[in-house]
């Protein structure tokens, strides 16, 4: 089991994470260090510039309860599991469902991720502000819940 140290820097989300009313984050998928159910997350904030200042707060380690794979594109998002429940769509590895960013399911996912306002389009905007504009080339990410 691994511990993944994750900084929370999206301002509207910080207090919700600290009070545990938000228990989800979306991150790049790292094939060399994937986040899996049973691993721990250690969440923290920065007192100023990331990586140049001390941590301003830290939560105790918590186990990952869901790790949902996600492929982000310019217009759509693909999932092998239901993005809200984590239930696989099937036993075949190629079963993937796509949602437009403005789909009501994406609105609900953005709310779980502490995005304000909680819409799929704002969720896309926030992710792109951290990771760059999505294109027709897939960007592999994970929805992490604790």
CA distance to 11, 87, 133, per residue, from 112 (Å): 15, 16, 22
Residue 94 confidence (pLDDT): 72
Please give the Cα distance from 79 to 128 (Å, whole number).
18
Give the closest residue to 72 by CA, choosing from 34, 6, 128: 128
What's the pLDDT tens digit per position in 85-98? Answer: 999 988 766 789 99
Q: Is the distance from CB of 1 to CB of 40 less than 8 angstroms?
A: yes
Q: Could you tell me the end-to-end alpha-carbon distance of the chain, in angstroms, rounded to an integer?
A: 15
| Domain that includes residue 41, residue range | 3-145
Report the pLDDT value the prediction gives residue 41, as an integer from 0 to 100: 98
Residues 8-19, mean pLDDT to the nearest whole number: 97
**Number of structural domains the chain divides into:** 1
**Mean pLDDT across the chain, nearest whole number?**
96
pTM over 0.95: no
């Amino acid at each position: 089991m691994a511990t993944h140290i994750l900084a929370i820097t999206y301002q509207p989300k910080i207090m919700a994470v600290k009070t545990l009313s938000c228990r989800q984050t979306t991150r790049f998928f790292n094939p060399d260090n994937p986040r899996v159910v049973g691993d721990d997350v250690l969440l923290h904030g920065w007192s100023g510039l990331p990586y140049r200042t001390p941590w301003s707060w830290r939560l105790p380690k918590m186990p990952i309860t869901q790790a949902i794979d996600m492929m982000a594109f310019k217009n759509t998002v693909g999932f092998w599991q239901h993005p809200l429940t984590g239930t696989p769509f099937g036993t075949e590895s190629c079963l993937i469902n796509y949602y437009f960013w403005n789909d009501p399911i994406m609105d609900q996912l953005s709310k779980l991720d502490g995005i304000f306002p909680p819409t799929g389009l704002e969720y896309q905007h926030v992710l792109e502000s951290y990771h760059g504009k999505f294109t027709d080339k897939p960007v592999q990410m994970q929805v992490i819940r604790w």
